[in-house]
Amino acid sequence: MPMVDIAGKEYEVDEEGYLVDLSQWNEDVAKYMAVEEKVDLTDSHWEVVNFLREYYAEYQIAPAVRVLTKAIGKKLGAEKGNNKYLYELFPYGPAKQACKIAGLPKPTGCI
């Protein structure tokens, strides 16, 4: 599998650029992935990224978009738990892009 150099350290990624070893994740990795995805990380982005990491820690999977949207709505409020808000943050798919930045695998059922 390909290796990428991030802030002087080597990381293994899969063919789509997702981090292979979740435990290697850190903020440098997140920033690198965000540049790759052409996402300018703001506090709102971090909120979603951190939410995904917590979700993964609890359930051991990356949620499908529908599930993510619902869970965000529950935790952060209805004004954030909708497709419009999440797609504005992550235009190429909140689950796909935010998971990549969060160092998670691509969500199951992400088609």
Partner 1 sequence: MSDMDEMEDGSGIVKKFMFLNRKAPHGTVYALEGLEVVLITAAFDQDVSMVFTDDGIYQLMKGIDTKGIEVKDFSRTYRALEGYDIEKLYVDQASLDARGLTEDDLIVDVTVLSVDEMANLMVEQDVVISF
Active-site positions read: 110
Backbone dihedral angles phi then psi of residue 29, each to the nearest 5 degrees? -60, -45
By beta-carbon proximity to partner 1, the closer residue of 42 and 60 is 60
Q: Where are the beta strands (DSSP E) in the chain?
A: 3-6, 9-12
d(CA 48, CA 43): 9
Residue 60 backbone zone (phi > 0: left; psi -120 to 50: alpha; other: beta)? left
Q: Which is nearer to partner 1, 63 or 94 (CB)?
A: 63
Q: CB of 12: closest distance to partner 1 in angstroms?
A: 17
Query: Which residues, 23 to 82, sit near partner 1 by CB under 8 A?
Result: 58-61, 63-64, 66-67, 70-71
Binding residues for partner 1, rule: CB under 8 A, are: 58-61, 63-64, 66-67, 70-71, 108-109, 111
